[in-house]
Amino acid sequence: MPRRRTILALVPAGLVALAGRHALAQPADSVPWSSGTERPKLVVSPGAADCHHHIYDGRFPVAGGAKPADATAADYLKLQHRLGVSRHVAVQPSAYGVDNSCLVDALKTFGKSARGVAVVNTDVTDAELKRLHAAGVRGIRFNFAPAGATTPEMMVPLSRRIAALGWHVQLHAAADQILALADVFPKLACPLVIDHMAHVPEPAGVSHPVFALALKLLAGGRTWVKLSAAYADTKVGAPSYADVGAVARAYVKAAPERLVWGSDWPHPSEAADHKPDDARLLDLLAEWAPDPKVRHRVLVENPAKLYRFA
């Protein structure tokens, strides 16, 4: 099972930095919750998207006694500046339960370049779903690793309610949990997005049953996989993450039209003094998908389709 989320240490929020390709010419800056200061070697195309990050802001109440430190919208804009991505997707973290106030506030700050993935349960009203849609939300997340505010039993009924909005169900779960849900996935009334390469365990890698299930789902045309959090399941470790890289390359070979990339900043599963280098995480994509046309698909075309960027 993926490591439990580590409480982040407190640091001051950074100043807002404008994102865009013009920023690549400026000196590199340090970014909270990211090691290193250099920009990626991979220069991404206009419209490239970071499809998985989180926002934590002490102005908003947390659920269940969680005490995360700030990783604010202003902090993320510094990472966007460093990576050179044009678009991004903020994912509601488990710390806020089904209160999406922090997410909606961040989306207001980010504007049209961002989309959101919320967390709701079966008590959510249709009016609230419409409000979230207007704010930029395009999916709902079920986080079962660790268990949070939702249950597997909620997946099918909520999928039916969000289908008309053009949303998707996003799943974060350990490999054995994903396998246990195999009979649920065909019943979903909307697309499925699987976090962090389906947490394929190492050293089994592509021989593990969860990878076979993920390929089957991808072949069905209604499932997407996020190439994110290479550090979550690696046994080799940084900087190569070679074992997880073999899984990523297998995904790229099998279904490049159903993959998106994400930083997973501020890397809540990693200790505050052991954060990965986000520039290196983006550079890994050049190794996983050496064909520039495939990378463009993963970074630009696929996110535009999945999250309905203009």
Contact assessment for residue 260 and residue 196, using Cβ atoms and an 8 Å cutoff: no
**What does residue 268 show for φ and ψ, rounded to 5 degrees?**
-65, -15
CB count in 10 Å sphere of residue 45: 15
Please, are residues 91 and 116 in contact by the beta-carbon 8 Å criterion? yes
d(CA 288, CA 280): 12
**Known catalytic residue at 264:** yes
Report the SS3 class of residue 264: coil
Amino acid at the residue 165: L
Question: Which of 103, 105, 134, 128 shows the shortest CA–CA distance to 118?
Answer: 103
Contact 54, 71 (CB under 8 A): yes
Tokens of 163: 């289908």
Q: How many CB atoms lie within 10 A of CB 310?
A: 7
Burial group, residue 67, by CB count within 10 angstroms (0-12, 13-18, 19+): exposed
Find the DSSP H helices in 111-188.
Answer: 126-135, 155-162, 175-180
CB 55 within 8 A of CB 76: yes
Residue of 50, 57, 195, 264 marked catalytic: 264
C-alpha separations of 168 from 54, 141, 165, 198, 255 in Å? 18, 9, 9, 16, 18
Task: Report the catalytic residues.
Answer: 264
